[in-house]
Amino acid sequence: MEQRRSSRNRTLLQGRVVFNNRFSLIDCTVRDLSEAGAQIAFAHPVTLPSELELEIPRKELSILARVMWSDGKSHGLMFIKAAHATTAGSASAASVETKALDQQPSQEGDGSNSAPTIQDVLEEARTRIAHIARVPTETVRLKLEIDF
């Protein structure tokens, strides 16, 4: 017996799952959509965080959602009503954290000769992203590209 609070409409809309403080984006297909949630599908099995943002550009929709079930390629989402307030709050928190980083004093004049390495900076970024996204640090992978 179905436990849905609203009727669902079958769709084949292009969507995008956004998480890790908007650092991770995965294209998906929205298979059905209702006022309370959606079913999304991927070409390959995907592991998702428990909460994410679903974007459906054609409907001009961007909403916070909770994963209710998963079977590898397909996932059932329930929309969280406070989506806009939560998303704005996350952006503000990220902005405040970035400003705090920018205002930290440089270590050049403190007498220490050890400058941080790229690996140190990436590891700190990985830890911060995991904290913001509320996922284990070992699940965050960063890719660095430098064009010269």
pLDDT of residue 101: 35
Please tell me the least confidently modeled range out of 6-15, 42-51, 77-86, 104-113: 104-113
78 compared with 121, residue with greater pLDDT: 78
**94 Rama class: left (phi>0) / alpha (psi -120 to 50) / beta:** alpha
What is the set of domains in the chain, with CATH numbers? 1-82+117-140 (2.40.10.220)
Buried b (16+ CB within 10 A) or exposed e, 79-102: bbeebeeebeebeeeeeeeeeeee
Separation CA 56–CA 65 (nearest Å): 13
What proportions of the chain, in percent to the nearest 5, are helix, strand and coil? 30, 30, 40
Tokens of 93: 């928190």
The pLDDT-based confidence of 2 (bands split at 50, 70, 90) is low
Over residues 9-23, mean pLDDT: 91
Q: Between the CA of residue 142 and those of 68, 123, 137, 145, what are the distances in Å?
A: 27, 9, 11, 10
pLDDT band at 27 (very low <50, low <70, confident <90, very high): very high
Query: In the chain, what percentage of residues exceed pLDDT 90?
Result: 39
Instruction: Tell me the per-residue pLDDT of 85-144, one tens digit each, with 9 for 90 and over.
Output: 333 333 333 333 333 333 344 444 444 456 778 887 888 888 888 888 888 777 888 877
Across the range 68-82, mean pLDDT stands at: 89
pLDDT band at 6 (very low <50, low <70, confident <90, very high): low
So what's the pLDDT on residue 113? 55
